[in-house]
Amino acid sequence: MSLINQLTQQLSGPALEALSGQIGADQESTSNAITAALPLLMGQMAKQSQGGGTNGIMSMIDADGDGNIMDDLVGFLGTTENGPAAGILSNLFGGNQGNMENGISKMSGLNSQQSGQLLANLAPIVMGFLSKQKQQNGLDENGLADMLNQEKNNINQAAQENPLMDMANKFLDADGDGSILDDIANMASGKSKGGLGGLIGGLFGGK
């Protein structure tokens, strides 16, 4: 089972209810936002896994990953303290975080504030999940990079069956250049060919 599928399962039921309450959104919109946000986070973490150094994903996990989060997701989501979320998001997205939030909003129906809160909750969860994977599987930096790159392939395969995943996947790299940040900035501003509105219109138009 892919990492995203494992996380999605753990973020259902009571955890989904708690996260929806945390960000002030209905569960359907929150679930759609999770479907869009997890590939975004995993994809950027896979990119970071190639960088090494202080911004490498292994360094981030060692500094901010808390596998214990996964033992009580509902408890974590029931608090207003997101731990290292701000640092994680800054390392992953830099000055493009606002564009990420805007993109998730347009894909899910959440407002930008809710999308920001969603990412703030999901970032330490994903980092904690990877920390647990590292510990349980004895992964070194290369092993973690291989696992994340395999997950990128899983995202591409899942996109063939899940319309929201497909939309998120296209959203992450609309021009096929391997870089998601420029595509998100362009789609959020409506500059990308077809734009995010075109993707959403194709999925929801006429309903």
pLDDT in tens, 73-85: 998 888 766 555 6
Does the residue 120 lie in any domain? Answer: yes
Q: Average the pLDDT over 152-160 and give the result.
A: 70
Rounded Cα gap, residues 190 and 103, in angstroms: 10
Residue 193 has pLDDT above 50, yes or no: no
pLDDT at 118 over 90: yes
pLDDT score of 115 more than 90: yes
pLDDT-derived band at 189, boundaries 50, 70, 90:
very low
Q: Which domain holds residue 71?
A: 3-161
Calculate mean pLDDT across residues 129-138. 91
Q: Give the model's pLDDT for residue 185.
A: 42
Does any domain span residue 187?
A: no
Structure tokens at 38: 């997890």
Flag whether 192 is in a domain.
Answer: no
Domain total of the chain:
1
Answer yes or no: are the C-beta atoms of 42 and 179 closer than 8 Å: no
Assess if residue 64 is contained within a domain: yes
Question: Above 90 in pLDDT, residue 65?
Answer: no
As given in the structure block, the two tokens for residue 12 are 């259902």
8 Å CB contact between 66 and 127? yes
Both tokens of 120, joined, read 């703030």
Q: For residue 172, tell me if it sits in a domain.
A: no
What's the pLDDT score for residue 84? 59
Range with lowest mean pLDDT among 71-80, 97-106, 156-165 = 156-165
- Within-domain flag for 152: yes
Q: Which residue has the higher pLDDT, 99 or 124?
A: 124
Average pLDDT, the chain: 76
Q: What is the pLDDT of residue 99?
A: 82
User: Residue 106: is it exposed, middle or buried by C-beta count within 10 angstroms (0-12/13-18/19+)?
Assistant: buried
CA proximity to 155, closest of 167, 169, 174: 169
Q: Which of 50-59, 71-80, 141-150 is the least confident region?
A: 50-59
In a domain, 26, yes or no: yes
The per-residue pLDDT for 66 is 81
Which has the minimum average pLDDT: 22-31, 57-66, 169-178, 187-196?
187-196
Position 166 in a domain = no
